[in-house]
Structure formats: C-alpha cells, structure tokens
Amino acid sequence: MKTTNLLFLTLFTYLFGVSNLAAKDVSKDVSRITGKIIDQNEQSVPYANVALIDAVSGNLVDGAVSDENGFFLIESVKTAKVKLVVSSIGFTSFESEVFALAPGLIKAFGAVSVQDEMTGLDEVTVKSTRPEIIIEADKTTINVEGTVMAEGSNALDVIGRSPGIYVDQDGIINLNGRTGATVMINDRLTYMSATDLANFLRAMPADNIKSIEVINNPSARFDAEGSAGVINIKLKKNTVDGMFGNIQAGALYNGQWLPTSGIALNVKKGKWSTNANLNYNHFGRYNDLEINRNFSLPEGISKFSQDSRITTRNKNLFFNGAANYEINENQNIAINIQASDSDDSDDNKSLTDIITPGVSDISYLDSRNDSKGNGNRIFANIHYDAKLDTLGTKISSDIDFTRMNSDSESVLTNMQWTGENTAEIMNSKILTLNDMYYNIFTAKVDFVKPVGKGNTIETGVKGSWVKSDNNLNLSKSQEEGPFVPDPSSNSFIYNENVLAAYISYKGKFSDKLSYQVGLRGEHSDITGNSVTLNQVNNQKYFNLFPSAFMQHKISDNYQIVYNVNRRITRPNYRLLNPFVYYIDPLTTETGNPNLKPQYSNNFEMNHVVKGMYQFTLGYSETEDAFMQVFVQNEDERTTTTYTDNFDKTRNANFRAIIPVDIKEWWAVSNMVQVNYNQYKSQIGDDYLNSANTSFMVRSQHNFTLPMGFKAEVMGIYLGPQIWGQGQISGFGWVDAGVTKSILKDKITLSVNGTDIFRTQVINAKIDFAAIDTNFRQYRSNQGVRFTLKYNFSKGESFRVKSSSGSSEERNRLD
C-alpha cells in the first residue's frame, strides 16, 4: 500500500472518530466540577494538579489537570464529602471549603487564585522561575514545558540537554556514558531504530513535551531490552471539552533553509475523545570531514589525505491519531494509529591525495556518492484497561502491529589519476540498490494487585513476532561499461520470536525503608537466513533478568536509593545481514551474522538531598558489548568497518545535579558527570585493553524577564574520551534562545541559536595495531531557528487519555 493511501486511511479513521462525538452526551449520573486556575496577576496557570480529596480520610476521590489556559473539569460518579485542592510547582496550594459530592452535581468554582511562592523584584513584576529538575526515588524528571529551548527546538534537541544524556551527531542517544537506552513516549515503547527514532524526534516540536523521565535502572515491569536504561517522554495532557489545538511554523538556517510546521487537534465530547498531530519538517546539514590515514608498506609509509563534504537533506511527514472511549468509570478502550513517510538524499563529494613511497607523483581519487531513499511506516495499537475493584486491582492489554518499508539507491562514481596526467583518468562506478521491509506483531497483558497495606504485586506476559526481508544488490562498472552484478549482493530473511513473563513485588520494611524486587524471563528464537550465501544462523536462548530496588529515607531532607538489575540488548536486524556497503572506494561497511546479544549488570546508588541535589554513583559491566570495529588492509590500502562483540566493557560513573537560584528571575541548573570506561577484546591477532576517565559539564541558565520575555543560555563541554579503538578529543558548545508571548499567550515567538561559537568540532584518532588514522569533523551545527506558534481552543476543560503501543522491537530497526 502506498504511503499516501496509508495517510488517507489514518486521517479517515481519525475523522470518523470525530464524527461520532456529536451523538454522545455526558450521563446525567455524572457530577461536573469546573473552574479556572489563575495567579495573583490574573494570568492563567496551566497544568496545575486539581484534586477532590475526601474530607474524612484524606484520600484522593477524583482529579484532573488544568489545560494550557488554566481551565479544569472533574467528572465523577462518586459520593463523598470532599474539598477541592489545587497545587502547582512554584505556587502555594489552594483548598476549598468542604462540599457534598454526589451524582448529577454541577458546581462551578469560577476563578481559583493561587499565589507565586516568590514575589517580584523591586518595581518590576516577574514570575518565578520554575524548578527544572524533580528528583524522585526511582527516576529523575526534567520539566520541559515553558522553557525557551522547548519553544524553538525539536524533541531530540531537548533530550540531548537533559542531565546524563548526550546525543551524538548521528542522533544516537547515550545515557550515563553508555549506548542502548530504550526510549518511551507516554509510558509506551517506541518501535523505532536509532535512525528512525532520531528522525521522528526531530519532526516532533519540543513544545509538545511536558517532561522527560530518566530511569537509569528499570524494574522487571519494563522490557529487558536496552542495557543503558529508559528515557520516557511525557507529552502534554490536552484538556479542552470541545476543541483544542495549536498551529506552528518555523525554519532553521544552518547553511540550508529547513522549514518546519505542525498542527495538533483534540476533540472530546462525553465518553469519546480523539486527538491528532500532523508534523512536517526538513532536516539537513553539511558534514565537512577530513580523514588522514597512514599505511605501513615495506617501502615506507603511504599517506592518504581525504577531504569530504556530505550534504544531507531529509523530508519527514508524521501523523499520529488516537481515539479513546470510556466504557464506564472502570473500563477504557483506545486505538492509536501512526503513519510516516520520509524522503532522504545525500550528496558526498571527496578528494583524496595519495602519497606512495618511492613514487614521486601524487595520485588523486575524486569520488562522488549520490544517494536517495524513501521510507514509510504504519503502526496501529489497540489498548484496553480496567479497574477490577476499589482496592486498586487493574488489568491492561495492548496489541500492536507495525509495518515498515525502506528502499534506497546510490551511485558511487570514482575518477583516479596520477600527477598532472589527467588524460589517463580511470573511471569506475558502483551501483547499490537496497530494499527492506519489516512486519512486527506484539501482544501483552499486565496485572496489578494490591496485597495488604502498602504492598503490591505486578505480573504480566508478552509475545513479539518479527519478520524482515532485506535485498541488497550491488553492481560495478569500469570505464563507462555496463554494470555487472557483484558477488557481494545478498538476500537476507530474518525471523525473531520472543516470549516474556515477569513478576514484581513492592513492599515496606518500615516507614523509612521500602523495597521492590522483580524477575523477568524471556525466551528468544532467532533465525537469520542468507539466501544468496545459503547460510542459516539460528539462536535460541532463555534468560532471567532480576531487579531489586530499595529506598532508605534517612530524614525529610536526605534519602538514599539503591538499584540493581540485569538487561539485554539484541542486535539491530540489519547488522546481522552479511551485506557489503561501499561508503567510498577506500571504506566499506559489512554486516555480521554472528553478532550475539549483549548483557549488562547494572548497579546504582543515588543520594538525594533536600529533594533538589542529586549525587549518584553507578557501575555497569557488559559482556559481548556491541562496538564498531575498524580493520585495515595494508596491501590494498582499504579500511573495513563492522559491528562486533567485545569481550567485556566496564563503566563507572559519578553524577551531580546542583540547581542554584541566583535571583528570583535567574535560575541555574548545573550537572557534572564523570565516567570511567574500560574496553577489553581480542580483535583479529591483536588484543585491545584501553581505559579512560572522561567528564561532561552542563550549565543551563533560565531568565524570566519583564514584558513577557524569557531567555535561556546553555553550555556543554565533553572531555576527552575513548570509544572502543578510537580516541575523541574534548569539545563543547553554547546554545541560547529568547521567547516572547503576546495576545494573552495565544501567540508565541521564539528565536534560538545553536553552537553559537562554532566549537562543536570533533577530532578523533585510531592508533591500534596497524591502524593509524585521524579524523576532523564539523556538521554545520551552528544555526538560528525561528518559530511562530498559535494556540486555539473552544470549550470547557476535560481530560484526554491516550495510548501509543507497548513494545521495543522497532528500536532495533535500522
């Protein structure tokens, strides 16, 4: 099915859900509590917590969250004596008088006023700067909404600014100095490879994000996939009865003009609610790359000096639509459909000077690699959840289906000559055609049962079934002759079945000491079939993944949290294909059908002081760790890269998060992280044993200024580090932005500058065995982005639920 048809189908499904809204009315047995939260300046307070609290027991009866304009609605069928409690970060709490909640009650509170915890400076009234980081027992939450960087950036940029997270220039997310982090959106796993995920997050405006949760050591409830931990993106809750949404448009200039646009729409009436987002963006950059390679020959050293410019341009279209139906107060069913389409193009131009010992003339290699590709994906999720009793017993289930198609075509054109003799230029071409598709089906059920006071049992089962087909066709041409098929062509079929089950128990030793223990078991059956080479590789294995968590509250201002777990990272499907891909005539990339999963054992001890300051010690040991390996052929003077299993890697890290409020209008968030990494592995005839202590420093300054202006300045520096065989020099950069809201926050204008001083330059080298290579790279990170957003709404406040899937298999699509 073509992508246009898929997009039409998803839009039709969404609009069909909207068309059913008018026929549904709120039951007369439901009470409705409404109002609007404002501050002392009569400005709306968005996303405040609004709760009905039992006046006798103090327990939560029902609740909601105010929308972007401060409106709230609580619908309830319960009967109790309650009071309305409003709370929001940076404001004092509000409590109403006690009133009788009963079915059919209509109660309008009107304007509910809360006060800033901090007041104005001199005669200039400014709102207090909200805390950016919230430290909890099992995770660290970074508030994103309302920040200047969020107004003008995309989701991937904001994730890269979060404590402990570094996003490299390929969009790969590193958590605490390690790759292999699992990314979730609204508590649902994302089904995307690192490449697909980076493109998706670049297409998502950061303004849609409420917060980012960093979970370094997940419990047994989470899939064991992802050795570095979990990053959970929490989107804003849209709460308008009737219609609510926003439209935004902008552009980034970094040597190319890269437009972005998006629209979000939410509709609710009665038990039906629907929401949809459509985003379109261009991502592009120039990659200036210098590579110097030295080859040891019997006659002496042969030197290759290569200068390249790679021009990349991606056009991404992403649609997300969901419909939710509340069967009754205890049951809910939802459907989520996503469809995406991307068109990619790369233009790689390089010139290599070749010095050969004993030869006076310099040889030249002029290469141009032009490639284009298209990828489309459709994802569907059906979600059901139910409360089984008043004690908190719950059950939920998800069924997901994903289909992805990707095709690409590249032509590598080479011209080679010696000295000034351009009349005898040798010409050659390499044509690469690559087609692949993936089908993924997953199903899961989770069950939660409270047992006794403060104790809970969680259990669940899950199955996933994956099939992929990858056809790589290579052909070569000499001196303008016809293309001849190359033996490196390959057809590869991959099948993976994983069955999993888990159980987890949460309890307390005392009021100050709580714990959680869990065990997850996963059985994997994997088959890789190289049809062309007539090679079948089958792997079957069963693994247990224990986890334990303990929280010791020493005092109201000091607690220690301990975490320990075991995790797995399975190889990307593409890496198991024994393909050969030409990056340029001197460099090839190959697959590895013998690549095994990597396993990591993780420990963390987190000290939290006054709920603000965080000091964390962590240790991880990984067996069969994935690493990119470089192999050099001295005779042919070529380099091959592939992914292999390192025998063992170790990572020890220390992280400190220190927020400082310099003034009421000036808040600073500081983070320092120190990593010790060690790599040990046999690579061919040589043994690698390298270690390094590196560090990362991040300081972000938030300014709340008069006349509705807000500004942010952030600086990051990464010290020298090692990465397998490679050594990377230290580098840093500074980003800054300013935003202004007008027309009562209906319109927001923002300007952001990235890598202002053009210092995000990467210098690296490989000096291992016979390899003597160094790199210098800059990827046009310096740029300026302009964004205009318009918010619109019509109706009273309400709460929209959403569901977006449940599995991790798409994380490994590449």
Q: Confidence class of residue 663 from pLDDT cuts 50, 70 and 90? A: confident
The better pLDDT of the pair 490, 218 is held by 490
| CB-based burial label for 762 (10 Å; 0-12, 13-18, 19+) | middle
Please classify residue 685 by burial: count the beta carbons closer than 10 Å to its beta carbon, then call 0-12 exposed, 13-18 middle and 19+ buried.
Answer: exposed
What per-residue confidence (pLDDT) applies to 649? 92
Angstrom distance (rounded) from CA 481 to CA 486:
14
The model carries a pTM of: 0.76
Window from 153-162, 404-413, 508-517 with minimum mean pLDDT? 153-162
Distances, alpha carbon 587 to alpha carbons 21, 100, 306, 670, in Å: 58, 75, 12, 41
For 75-108, what is each residue's pLDDT tens digit?
Answer: 888 888 888 988 776 577 788 888 888 887 888 8
Closest alpha carbon to 145 in 619, 795, 776, 710:
710
Burial class (CB within 10 angstroms; exposed 0-12, middle 13-18, buried 19+) of 219: buried
DSSP letter (8 states) at residue 753: E
Q: How confident is the model at residue 620 (pLDDT cuts 50, 70, 90)?
A: very high
pLDDT band at 3 (very low <50, low <70, confident <90, very high): very low
User: How much is the pLDDT for 459?
Assistant: 96
Q: Where are the alpha helices (DSSP H) in 564-627?
A: none
Q: For residue 452, give both structure tokens.
A: 């006794």
Of 16-25, 197-206, 423-432, 607-616, where does mean pLDDT reach its minimum?
16-25
Q: Supply φ then ψ for residue 158, to 5 degrees.
A: -70, -40
Range of weakest confidence among 330-344, 447-461, 736-750: 736-750
The helix (H) or strand (E) run that includes residue 6 is helix 3-19
Q: What is the pLDDT confidence band of residue 152, given thresholds at 50, 70 and 90?
A: low
d(CA 339, CA 402): 10
Q: What is the 3-state secondary structure (H, E, C) of 187-200?
A: CEECCCCHHHHHHH
What's the CA gap between 520 and 460, in Å, rounded?
9
552/193: higher pLDDT: 552
Q: Is the pLDDT of residue 403 over 70?
A: yes
- Return the structure tokens found at 67: 């929308």
Which residues are within 8 A (CB) of 390 and not within 5 positions of it... i.e. 6 or more apart? Answer: none
Q: Which residues pair with 316 in a beta bridge?
A: 281, 342
Name the nearest CA neighbour of 672 among 692, 655, 652: 655
Residue 177 has a pLDDT of: 62
Containing H/E element for 306?
Answer: strand 300-328
pLDDT at residue 388 is higher than 50: yes
Task: State which H helix or E strand residue 341 sits in.
Answer: strand 331-355
Longest dimension (CA), the chain: 97
Whether residue 136 has pLDDT greater than 70:
no
Contact between 283 and 316 (Cβ < 8 Å)? yes
Could you tell me the pLDDT band of residue 753, with boundaries at 50, 70 and 90?
A: very high
| R_g over Cα of the chain | 28
Higher pLDDT, 260 or 242: 260
Q: Residue 441 pLDDT > 90, yes or no?
A: yes
Residue 694 pairs in a beta bridge with 675
Distance, in Å, from the CA atom of 156 to the CA atom of 159, rounded to the nearest integer, reads 5
| pLDDT tens-place string over residues 451-493 | 877 789 999 999 999 999 989 899 999 988 899 998 888 899 9
The pLDDT score that the predictor gives to residue 65 is 77
12 vs 617, higher pLDDT = 617
Q: What is the pLDDT of residue 718?
A: 93
Q: What is the pLDDT of residue 276?
A: 87
pLDDT band at 801 (very low <50, low <70, confident <90, very high): very low
Average pLDDT, the chain: 82
> For position 29, what pLDDT does the model report?
66
Q: What does the pLDDT read at residue 16?
A: 42
Give the span between the Cα atoms of 373 and 142, in whole angstroms: 36
E-strand stretches of 570-665: 580-584, 587-590, 598-609, 613-633, 638-663
Q: Are 460 and 501 in contact (CB under 8 A)?
A: yes
- At 603 the pLDDT is 92
